[in-house]
Amino acid sequence: MTNDCQYLLDYLDCEYELFEDINDGAFIVEAYERMSKQGKQDGFIPLIIVVSNVLAEVIENVLEEIEDGPSPDGIHYFRQEVIKDAMQIDVPQLLEQRWNDSIADEDEFDDEHSNLYGDFIPAVAEHELYSYLNGTVPYPEIIIACIPITAAWELAAWVPMGGFNDCPLPEEQVAVFKYWYDHYGAVPAIVSHNTWELKLTRPPADNHVAELLAREHFAFCSDRVYQAEESTATIRSLASHLKHSTTWYFWWD
Tell me what pLDDT residue 153 has. Answer: 98
Sign of torsion over alpha carbons 245, 241, 157, 193:
positive
pLDDT in tens, 86-97: 999 999 999 999
Report, as an integer, the average pLDDT of 142-163: 97
Report, as an integer, the average pLDDT of 41-66: 94
Tell me what pLDDT residue 65 has. Answer: 82
Burial class from Cβ neighbours inside 10 Å (0-12, 13-18, 19+) for residue 31 reads middle
β 187-191/45-50 pair status:
parallel
Residue 107: pLDDT band (50, 70, 90) is low
pLDDT in tens, 58-81: 999 988 888 766 789 999 999 999
Q: Which of 186, 157, 184, 185 is nearest to 173 (CA)?
A: 157
pTM for this entry: 0.95
Tell me what pLDDT residue 68 has. Answer: 67
Tell me what pLDDT residue 229 has. Answer: 78
- In degrees, rounded to 5, the angle at the alpha carbon of residue 162 between the alpha carbons of residues 94 and 85 is 55
In this predicted structure, the answer to whether residue 109 has a pLDDT above a threshold of 50 is no
Q: Which of 165, 224, 222, 152 is nearest to 193 (CA)?
A: 165
Give rounded-to-5 percent helix, strand, coil for the chain: 50, 15, 35
Report, as an integer, the average pLDDT of 205-215: 97
pLDDT in tens, 225-237: 988 777 778 999 9
The 10 Å Cβ neighbour count of residue 43 is 10
* Domain segments of the chain as ranges: 3-251
* Start-to-end C-alpha separation, the chain: 27
In this predicted structure, the answer to whether residue 52 has a pLDDT above a threshold of 60 is yes
